Amino acid sequence: MSTKLSLNVNKIATLRNSRGQNRPNVVDVALDCEKFGADGITVHPRPDERHIKFQDVYDLSSIIKTELNIEGYPNSKFMSLISDIKPSQVTFVPDEPGVLTSNSGWNTQLHQSMLTELNSELRLHGVRSSIFVDTDLKNIEYAAMCGADRIELYTGPFALNYSRDKEDAVKNYINASKLALELGLGVNAGHDLCLENLKFFASKIEGLLEVSIGHALICDAIYYGLQKTIQMYQELLK
C-alpha cells in the first residue's frame, strides 16, 4: 500500500495574500490538486492568518473529496473550527504565535494532560488525531498514552542532514516509527521532504501512512507544473 500524499496549500494562500485579491484561488487549486492525484489536502491556519485564513478552511471543508488534514496549535479558536468542520484528521502542532514555520515537536510528557483531553474531544467528533513529534522515543510513548491515533514525525533534521549522511539521518526515524507501530500508533511525516529525499525516507520507514508536503512541492511546480509535480511525488511514494 502506497504512502498517501497530503498536499499543503499554505503557500498558495501566501501568494494570494501578497496581492490582497483572490488569485490564485485556494479552493480551485485544492480541487486541481485532488484531480491531479493528491490523496488529501493539508492546511495550517495560524492566529495571524498570514497564509491560510479560517474562512479558507470552511470553504475547503465543503468541497474536498479526499481527506482534509487541519494542522495547528489547539487554542480555543482552532478547536472551535474543528468542532464546526470535523475534518478527516487534525494534527496538533506546538507552534508559538508568530513562528515562521513548525520547527519542533511536542513535549508530550509535559503536555500529557492537555493532549489527552484534546484527543478525547476529537474522538467525540469522530476525527482522527495526530500529534507532531520529534524522534525522542519518550515523546512517542507519551503520545500513545495521550490517546492519539497517529504521530507525525518532524522530518526537518532528516532533511538537513540527508546530503551529509542519509543513513545516519534516517536512523532515529526508523527507530521512532518501529516504536510507534508497536504502541499501535499510525505514522505520518512532514517538513522539508522533497524530490531529492522523499523516496529514500519513505523506503526506510515501515508503515508510513502519509506525508504532508507543501513548500517544496509548490517550489518544484514553478518549474515542472503542478500536475506533473504531483505525479512525480506520487511516483516516489509507490
Look at residue 99 and tell me whether its pLDDT is greater than 70.
no
Task: State the Cα–Cα distance between residues 28 and 42, nearest whole angstrom.
Answer: 14
The radius of gyration computed from the CA coordinates of the chain, to the nearest angstrom, equals: 17
| Band of pLDDT at residue 155, cut at 50, 70 and 90 | very high
pLDDT digits (tens, 9 = 90+) for 162-206: 999 999 999 999 999 999 999 999 999 999 999 999 999 999 999
pLDDT at 20: 86
Look at residue 91 and tell me whether its pLDDT is greater than 90.
yes
Task: State the Cα–Cα distance between residues 15 and 10, nearest whole angstrom.
Answer: 9
pLDDT at 140: 98
| Band of pLDDT at residue 5, cut at 50, 70 and 90 | very high
pLDDT at 103: 63
Contacts of 45 (CB under 8 A, 6+ apart): 52, 53, 54, 56, 57, 70, 72, 78, 81
User: Phi and psi (nearest 5°) for 88?
Assistant: -65, -40
- Judge whether 215 counts as a catalytic residue: no
Rounded alpha-carbon distances, angstroms, from residue 180 to 82, 127, 214:
25, 20, 24
Q: What percentage of the chain carries pLDDT values higher than 90?
A: 92
pLDDT digits (tens, 9 = 90+) for 102-134: 566 999 999 999 999 999 999 999 999 999 999
Catalytic residue selected from 34, 51, 67, 71:
71
pLDDT at 97: 61
Domains of the chain and CATH, by start = 4-237 (3.20.20.70)
Catalytic residue selected from 34, 44, 111, 152:
44
Task: State the Cα–Cα distance between residues 31 and 12, nearest whole angstrom.
Answer: 13
- Judge whether 44 counts as a catalytic residue: yes
Secondary structure of 41-99 as H, E, C letters: EEECCCCCCCCCCHHHHHHHHCCCCCCEEEEECCCHHHHHHHHHHCCCEEEECCCCCCC
Among 34-43, 78-87, 90-99, 218-227, whose mean pLDDT is lowest? 90-99
Catalytic residue selected from 51, 67, 111, 191:
191
187 exposure class (CB count in 10 Å sphere: 0-12, 13-18, 19+): buried
Q: What percentage of the chain carries pLDDT values higher than 70?
A: 96
Amino acid at 127: V
pLDDT at 95: 77
Look at residue 100 and tell me whether its pLDDT is greater than 90.
no
Look at residue 101 and tell me whether its pLDDT is greater than 90.
no
Contacts of 166 (CB under 8 A, 6+ apart): 197, 200
- Judge whether 196 counts as a catalytic residue: no
